[in-house]
Amino acid sequence: MGKIIALANQKGGVGKTTTAINLAASLAAFEKRVLVIDADPQANASSGLGIDIREINSSIYECLINKSIAEKSITPTCVKGLDIIPSHIDLVGAEIEMLDLPNREKIMREALAPIKEKYDYILIDCSPSLGLITVNSLTAADSVIIPVQCEYFALEGISKLLNTIKIIKSNLNPTLDIEGFLLTMFNSRLRLSNQVYNEVKKHFRELVFDTVIQRNIRLGEAPSMGIPALMYDAESTGAKNYLSLAEEILNRKG
């Protein structure tokens, strides 16, 4: 049975897409079948995995709005065992188009149900908002990873996200769990990074992943090549961090 994990935080620039790309590649390196759903109109997860969205015929937009069969939108990536359902700029208007649809919060769950068995993990890269598509993603997910940037105001907005998760658990998806809080862009030499780490640990305790994603130049460079850090520089700190995170998630499962 596949597990669907959403990556969500309405704050931009916290490492959601970097995590989606590199965690997916790392899980695939452990010989898991992985699918990324790019649910962000900016389509950075798609381009970061080498997909030219100008050349695709079907994206997550078609799955949500035209009820296209999700299987038709699956596109293989350069990583063995890793597929993607890419995004498209049309997704910007999808929330308005979805407003009049029946069961509008459950459209993604219904779209993914037929393909869930094909994969060990499905990772949904959510957009930096708490709009209807993010609500759809959280309703479809079994759990959520919340990336938290090790910078000032890191915890700002987290309570709003946690409140959204609570509402979704109450009304739409009672089995939704928090997979964990993931500290990103960590620099051990900066006092601020350590303060944020301690603050998040104090608030969320065992919900915080042991793995911390360190600030790493290779993680920033790899997307411009359309490949994950593991293929760009397997020895880089970023690649090793995400392999460690994948291992932590695999060891938890069950």
pLDDT in tens, 196-238: 899 899 989 999 999 999 999 999 999 999 999 999 999 999 9
CA distances from 51 to 22, 46, 69, 75, 104 (A): 15, 5, 20, 8, 28
Strands (E), 31-142: 34-39, 75-76, 82-85, 121-126
- Confidence band, pLDDT 50/70/90 cuts, at residue 254: very low
- Confidence band, pLDDT 50/70/90 cuts, at residue 253: low
Structure tokens at 183: 């500290």
Structure tokens at 204: 């969320």
For 81, the 3-state DSSP assignment is coil
d(CA 119, CA 3): 8
Mean pLDDT of 42-67: 93
- Let me know: does 49 contact 228? Beta carbons within 8 Å: yes
Q: Which has the higher per-residue pLDDT, 205 or 252? A: 205
Structure tokens at 5: 């994990």
Mean pLDDT of 26-50: 97
d(CA 1, CA 116): 7
Buried b or exposed e, range 25-37, using 16+ CB within 10 angstroms = bbbbbeebebbbb
Residues facing residue 35 across a β-bridge: 83, 122
The domain covering 3-252 belongs, at the CATH homologous superfamily level, to P-loop containing nucleotide triphosphate hydrolases (3.40.50.300)
If you search the block for the tokens 């992943």, which residue do you land on?
209
pLDDT at 226: 95
pLDDT in tens, 125-135: 999 998 999 99
